[in-house]
Amino acid sequence: MKNKTRTLSRRKFIAGAGAMSGMLLTGCDTELYTPPKIRSGLMGVSDVLTMASQRLLMSGQGLVKEFETGDITKDFPAWGRTNPEDESYQKLASNEFTDWSLSVGGLVNRPASFSLQDLKRLPSRTQTTMHICEQGWSAIAQWTGVPLTTLLEAAGGVSQEARYVVIDTYDGWYDAYDMFDVVHPQTILAYGLNGKDIPRGNGAPVRLRVERHCGYRHLKFVKSIQVVASVENIGRGKGGLLSDYNWHWYAGA
Amino acid sequence: MELKQTGSWVLRHSYNVRICHWINVICFAYLFLSGIMMFLQFPELYWGDVGFRGYEAVFKLSNWGLSWEESDALGNRQWGRNYHFLFAWIFLFNNLIYVGWNLKNRHFSRRMWPQRDELSKDNLKKELKQHLRLRAAKGDAATKYNVFQKFSYLIVIFALFPFMLISGLAQMPAFTAISPELIDLFGGRQSARTLHAISTVLLVLFVVIHVIEVFVAGAVNHIRAMITGKYYLSTKEKT
C-alpha cells in the first residue's frame, strides 16, 4: 500500500494539534485515551482509567509548572544509565559529538538528518521544570532544546497517518509517543542543561523532555527519530522498551 | 440459684457494609504491600519539591538497620506500581459506592454520627476506661458502635482515605500540568510522598487496633457478623 502523504505546513500542523484537543474534549478519538496496546485483564482496565482520566484533565494542553532559575537543584542526579558502552557512541563522544547527527524519518514529508549545530539553529525553548522519577526522586533543572513539533516541521511536517513518534537511543532504548505528547509545547529535544551542554550522565548530546511523564520516558542519548502509523513492528509491539516488559506505557502515573 | 446463658441473634451489618468491608480488606492488603515494594527501592523520605539519594532526608531506612542495597533487593517497584494503581482504582470505586449507599440509607447519621449524650465528659471518660482495660461492651451497647469506634471510622473514611488519594495524585507527573497548586498545597512533591507515608502509618495503626478490638470483643462472633451479618447477643439471666 502506498503512503498517501500530505504536506502539512506549520500552520496546518498546529491547527491539527488544536483539532486534536477539540476531539479530546468531545471524546471522539479513543486513541488518545488508550495506550497503543492495552494490557490484558484488570491491569488494562486500570491503565485505561488512569490514562483516560488524566488525558481528559490535560485536554487543554496546559503547561507543567515552570520554576524560577533560583529553584534549580544543585547536582541534578545522573541516574540510570550514564555512559552507553556502544562503540559508535563512544566514538562520537570522543569528538564532542561534532559528528553526531539525528535522522528524522518515517512518515515525515522530507526525511532529513540534523547535526547538533542544525538543532541549535532551530527556534529553541528553555524551561525550568521538576523531573519526577518513577523510583521516587525529584529535582529541578533548566532544559534548553528544540520543540519536537519544530523539528518535525523542519522535516516537512508529518503525513496524515502519523500516530506515534518513535525514538531510538544509543543505550538501546526505544519508546513511542503519541501526538498528544508530541504537540505539547514543553516536549523538547534538549541539548542544554542549566545553560550548558547536557553532560554525559544526563544524556549527552540530546535527550527528550516529555514533562508530563515519569523520568523513564525522557530518553537520553537520542540516536534517531521515526514517525509511524503503528508501533506493531517496534520491539515487541507494545510501544516502548519498558512497556514491552510489562510497565505502564502511559507514565503520567 | 444458677446462671443460665441465653441470647438472641441481631442483625449487625447490612450487606453493603459487609461487601465493601471485605473488598477494602483486600485493597488495603494490596495497596500496603505494593506501596512497601516501591518504597523499599527508594527507602528515603524528603521535604519540599526536591529529594534524591544524597540529598538531605527526613527519614532514611538505612538509619534503622537496612542498607539501601539490602532494601533495594527486597523491593519490586514494577510489581508495586502495577498493583498499587490497580487497587487504588478498586479502592476508590468501592469507597464511593460505600459512602454513597450509606449516605442514602442514612447509615452514617443513624449509626456512625456520635450522639450528644455520647459526647459528654462522663461518657467519654467511662468509654476510655473500658477501652484501656480492654473491656468489651455488653448487652444493648454491644449492638452499637461506641463513641471511639465512631470517631475512628469517620476519621479513616472521611479524612485519611481522601488524604491518601490526594497525596498520591500530588506525586504524579501529570499533576505538574493538571494542578501544580495541589502539589504546592502539600509543600512540594517530596512532602506529598512523605505525608503519604505518614498517613500509611496511621492507617496501619488503625488496622492493628481494629483487629485487637475484634479479638477483645470476641473474634468469632464479630468476624461471623461481618460475613453473615448476624451477631449473637448473649444475656445472662438469673433463674
- Mutation target vs A (from B50, B77, B195; most A CBs, 10 A cutoff): B50
For position A18, what pLDDT does the model report?
46
- Rounded to an integer, what distance in angstroms lies between the CA atom of residue B70 and that of residue B77? 15
For position B139, what pLDDT does the model report?
81
Of B52, B77, B85, the CB nearest to A46: B85
Q: What are phi and psi of A72, to 5 degrees?
A: -60, 135
What pLDDT, in 10s, does the model give residues A155-185?
A: 999 999 999 999 999 999 999 999 999 999 9
Average pLDDT in chain A: 90
The alpha carbon of residue B133 is apart from the nearest alpha carbon of chain A, in Å, by 43
For position B138, what pLDDT does the model report?
83
- Rounded to an integer, what distance in angstroms lies between the CA atom of residue A124 and that of residue A212? 19
- How far apart, in Å, are the Cα atoms of B39 and each of A81, B30, B124, B206? 21, 14, 39, 21
Phi-psi region of A96 (alpha: psi -120 to 50; beta: other; left: phi over 0): left
Judge: A130–B49 Cβ closer than 8 Å, yes or no: yes
Percent of chain B topping pLDDT 70? 96
The alpha carbon of residue A174 is apart from the nearest alpha carbon of chain B, in Å, by 18
Of B49, B54, B82, the CB nearest to A140: B49
Looking at the predicted structure, is the pLDDT value of residue B153 above 60? yes
Looking at the predicted structure, is the pLDDT value of residue B140 above 60? yes
For position B136, what pLDDT does the model report?
85
Looking at the predicted structure, is the pLDDT value of residue A38 above 80? yes
Q: Is A75 on the interface with B (CB under 8 A)?
A: yes
Return the percent helix, strand and coil in chain B, to nearest 5. Answer: 65, 10, 25
- Rounded to an integer, what distance in angstroms lies between the CA atom of residue B46 and that of residue A42? 33
Q: Is B190 on the interface with A (CB under 8 A)?
A: yes
The alpha carbon of residue B149 is apart from the nearest alpha carbon of chain A, in Å, by 33
- Element (H or E) spanning B102, and its range? helix B77-104
Chain B's closest residue to A66, CA to CA, is B176
Q: Is B80 on the interface with A (CB under 8 A)?
A: no
The alpha carbon of residue A115 is apart from the nearest alpha carbon of chain B, in Å, by 31
CB pairs under 8 A between A and B: 105
Which grid cell sits at A143? 532544559
For position A147, what pLDDT does the model report?
98
* DSSP 8-class letter at A102: E
Contacts of B26 in chain A (CB under 8 A): none
Sorted by sequence, the CB contacts under 8 Å of residue B187 that are 6+ apart come out as B47, B48
What confidence tier does A2 reach under pLDDT thresholds 50, 70, 90? very low
Q: pTM for the full model? A: 0.90
**Cβ count near B119 (within 10 Å):** 12
The alpha carbon of residue A134 is apart from the nearest alpha carbon of chain B, in Å, by 9
What confidence tier does A15 reach under pLDDT thresholds 50, 70, 90? very low
For position B28, what pLDDT does the model report?
98
Average pLDDT in chain B: 93
Q: Is B76 on the interface with A (CB under 8 A)?
A: no
What confidence tier does B84 reach under pLDDT thresholds 50, 70, 90? very high
Just give the CATH number of A10-244. Answer: 3.90.420.10
For position A24, what pLDDT does the model report?
40
For position B1, what pLDDT does the model report?
52
Just give the CATH number of B3-238. Answer: 1.20.950.20
As to burial, measured by CB atoms within 10 angstroms (0-12 exposed, 13-18 middle, 19+ buried), residue B8 is exposed
Mean pLDDT of A5-28: 45
What pLDDT, in 10s, does the model give residues A131-157?
A: 999 999 999 999 999 999 999 999 999
Looking at the predicted structure, is the pLDDT value of residue A193 above 50? yes
Q: Is B189 on the interface with A (CB under 8 A)?
A: yes
Contacts of B176 in chain A (CB under 8 A): 64-65, 129-130, 132, 211-212
For position A163, what pLDDT does the model report?
95
Q: Is B51 on the interface with A (CB under 8 A)?
A: yes
For position B143, what pLDDT does the model report?
83
Looking at the predicted structure, is the pLDDT value of residue B205 above 80? yes
Q: Is B178 on the interface with A (CB under 8 A)?
A: yes
For position A10, what pLDDT does the model report?
46
What confidence tier does A25 reach under pLDDT thresholds 50, 70, 90? very low
Judge: A64–B42 Cβ closer than 8 Å, yes or no: no
The residues spanned by each domain of chain A are 10-244
